[in-house]
A and B are shown apart, each in its own frame.
Chain A
Amino acid sequence: MSSDESIERAVKETTAGLIQYSPEGLVPFGPVHPALKEPEYFKIILEGEKIVQIIPRIGYAHRGIERAAQDRTWIQAIYLVERICGICSFSHSLAFVQTVESLTEYEVPRRARYIRLIIAEMERIHSHLLWLGLVGYWTGFDTLFMWIWRDRERVLDLIEMITGNRVHKSYATITGVRRDLPENIERHVQSAMKYLSERVAFYKEIVNSEATILTRTKGVGWISPDVAIRLCPVGPLLRCMGFKRDVRVDDPYAAYDEIVPEVKTSTDSDALSLLNLRLEEIEDSIRMILDAITAIPTGPVKTTVPRTIPKGDAIGHVEAPRGELFYFVRSEGGSKPTRVKIRTPTLANILTATEMLKGHTLADVPVVLTAMDPCFGCMDRLTVIDLDEGKEWQVNGEQLRRYGIEWYKNNKRE
């Protein structure tokens, strides 16, 4: 369809959808609407068994970091922004550091760029494995969850050997990384990657043959790509609809111009294709880490770290495990940033994920919301509003998980 048509359709279906249905007709909503007096995370509006609309409320994790970054020096700000998210903390610090570097004249040494690539890909592996274990958890497949998280510990061991910490690594600094790779890290990396590639092949087999996972993910969560593109999603959610977009290839940073990722796409755009897509990304990351560790050049790992940054505006983006992470930094020549603007990939994907759930049942909510890979806290509290019965009740993530497992034991989706 033409771009005008797809815009029309997206506007009608989505922004019009942010209007609440009520017996009197369409009523524009806001978080101050009388029925929505309490701030909840997600409000799910049902008609019978089908979901009609999901309205997200996202202030639960707002801490005021953009304002706090204005009171920190440039180096202190790195420690602040990496604690925005514990799962992709290196991506945040890398994006910030790269944006600030583009305001200065300093060049990042080649060895540092390779090390940044290695740590970023290890973080991608750890994040995707974490997510995969959670999918097992939400569908009632606890064994898969335990196995995957045990294998994930191998990657965390490697990260700890190189950077000193498992989660908040504080490893990137302006113009490089803080310390060099330890001696003999190659053989640890190679043995861990060999182990992981066998396990990932095994999980690929399980995901595509186990009935528990297939019934809950095949065909679940579909959206027309022409409509979805108007909602500006990013990351694996965008790639599972057939769009070949990846910041590492479109706008290479670190060492991605020398070690090029293979961008995988799929055309099914359901939850099962997201599972396979992420498993394939893990395999690609393993290949890139092995290539990088053999081809890494010698040299310094950082140049000087300046105290003041020249005046200017800068923008930068990286491909975090969940999608495109964007930073905007304005400096006025001082030792503290004037404005830091951060756009996380989950914010860009919320609209698309809520659209994917229309027409499904309550039991599919955990799987589809997890498919867009949100942060933990998102799933903690939901309110369900049943239009037919006129009732409203609250569930938390754990209760929804058990409801979903029970529902699929007794029913089939048509």
Chain B
Amino acid sequence: MSEVLISKFYELKDVKISKEKNRIMIETSPDKIVDTCRFIITKLGIHHLVTITGIDEGEKICIIYHFWGQQNFVNLVVRIEKTNPRINSITRVVPGAIFYEAEVHDMLGVIFEGNSLMEGRLLLPDTYPSDLPPPLRKEANPEEIRRRMGLE
């Protein structure tokens, strides 16, 4: 089953594909994200987006889109620069992604262009100091966040 799926991915250009057990990893560049997601959902029939993970890797922020369908996980990996963390939102293709993108925005400061929840906060309190880095970045310090928010 996964071999059939992987062979269909070769239709896309500029992707790197690797696989272990039933997890397929696709790596692509940030400007292709919406087209790749549309391909996965319409052509492959994998329409369940599990979640979107963001990881701070030092100089880049790695964003992984996890899809599940046809008894396989498809992980779509993109990396964006930390100095300019912007990427297109996929809510035009997967409306269910709206909260997952808002969570990555809250926790890592990534801006998803086209997502209507980018102005406010989803999880963090409104009193979170806006000059401190978002909590999951490497430079964020929980002690300092506690002190600035007035929690003893």
**Would you call B94 and A3 a contact (CB within 8 A)?**
no
Question: Bound state CA distance, A119 and B24, in angstroms?
Answer: 31
Using known A-B contacts A67-B135, A328-B66, determine if residue A15 contacts B124 with beta carbons closer than 8 Å. no
Question: Bound state CA distance, A140 and B16, in angstroms?
Answer: 57
Using known A-B contacts A15-B98, A15-B116, A231-B95, determine if residue A341 contacts B123 with beta carbons closer than 8 Å. no
Question: Bound state CA distance, A31 and B99, in angstroms?
Answer: 13
Question: Bound state CA distance, A348 and B100, in angstroms?
Answer: 9
Per-residue interface assignment for chain A, residues 43 to 72, with 1 indicating a CB less than 8 Å from any chain B CB and 0 otherwise: 000000000000001110010101110000
**Would you call B71 and A251 a contact (CB within 8 A)?**
yes
**Would you call B53 and A232 a contact (CB within 8 A)?**
no
Using known A-B contacts A15-B98, A67-B135, A328-B66, determine if residue A3 contacts B50 with beta carbons closer than 8 Å. no
Q: Which of A6-14, A207-215, A287-295, A400-408 faces chain B? A: A6-14
Q: Is A18 an interface residue (CB 8 A)?
A: yes
Given A66-B136, A315-B75, 14 more pairs with CB closer than 8 A: A7-B41, A11-B95, A19-B116, A31-B122, A31-B126, A39-B126, A59-B124, A59-B125, A64-B135, A68-B142, A231-B95, A232-B50, A232-B96, A351-B99
User: When A and B form their complex, which 5 residue pairs have the shortest distance between CB atoms, in order from nearest?
Assistant: A232-B96, A31-B120, A30-B120, A30-B119, A343-B51
**Would you call A28 and B94 a contact (CB within 8 A)?**
no
Per-residue interface assignment for chain B, residues 94 to 128, with 1 indicating a CB less than 8 Å from any chain A CB and 0 otherwise: 11111110000001000000001111111111100
**Would you call A315 and B23 a contact (CB within 8 A)?**
yes
| Contact residues in A for B68 (Cβ distance below 8 Å) | 317
Which B residues have a C-beta under 8 Å from some C-beta of A?
22-23, 41-42, 45, 47-51, 53, 55, 64, 66, 68, 71, 73, 75, 91-100, 107, 116-126, 135-136, 140, 142
Minimum distance in angstroms from A392 CB to a CB of chain B: 18
Question: Bound state CA distance, A347 and B53, in angstroms?
Answer: 14
Question: Bound state CA distance, A4 and B94, in angstroms?
Answer: 11
Q: Is A350 an interface residue (CB 8 A)?
A: yes
**Would you call B41 and A326 a contact (CB within 8 A)?**
no
**Would you call A4 and B42 a contact (CB within 8 A)?**
yes
Partner of A230, one of B47, B50, B120, B126: B47
Question: Bound state CA distance, A405 and B64, in angstroms?
Answer: 46
Residue on A with the closest CB to B121?
A31
**Would you call A7 and B136 a contact (CB within 8 A)?**
no
| Contact residues in A for B75 (Cβ distance below 8 Å) | 315
Using known A-B contacts A31-B120, A58-B122, A67-B135, determine if residue A232 contacts B98 with beta carbons closer than 8 Å. no
Minimum distance in angstroms from B1 CB to a CB of chain A: 12
**Would you call B142 and A230 a contact (CB within 8 A)?**
no
**Would you call B125 and A39 a contact (CB within 8 A)?**
yes
**Would you call A11 and B142 a contact (CB within 8 A)?**
no
Contact sample, A vs B, 30 pairs, CB 8 Å cutoff:
A3-B41, A3-B45, A4-B42, A7-B41, A15-B98, A18-B116, A18-B117, A28-B116, A28-B119, A30-B116, A31-B126, A32-B126, A39-B126, A58-B123, A59-B121, A59-B125, A62-B124, A62-B125, A64-B135, A67-B135, A67-B136, A229-B47, A232-B48, A245-B48, A250-B71, A315-B66, A315-B75, A317-B50, A317-B68, A328-B51
**Would you call A343 and B50 a contact (CB within 8 A)?**
yes
Q: Is A330 an interface residue (CB 8 A)?
A: yes
Residue on B with the closest CB to A232?
B96
| Contact residues in B for A10 (Cβ distance below 8 Å) | 95
Minimum distance in angstroms from A245 CB to a CB of chain B: 8
Residue on A with the closest CB to B54?
A341
Residue on B with the closest CB to A70?
B136
**Would you call A30 and B96 a contact (CB within 8 A)?**
no
Question: Bound state CA distance, A240 and B94, in angstroms?
Answer: 21
Q: Is A324 an interface residue (CB 8 A)?
A: yes
| Contact residues in B for A348 (Cβ distance below 8 Å) | 51, 96
| Contact residues in A for B124 (Cβ distance below 8 Å) | 59, 62
| Contact residues in B for A343 (Cβ distance below 8 Å) | 50-51, 100
Minimum distance in angstroms from B125 CB to a CB of chain A: 6
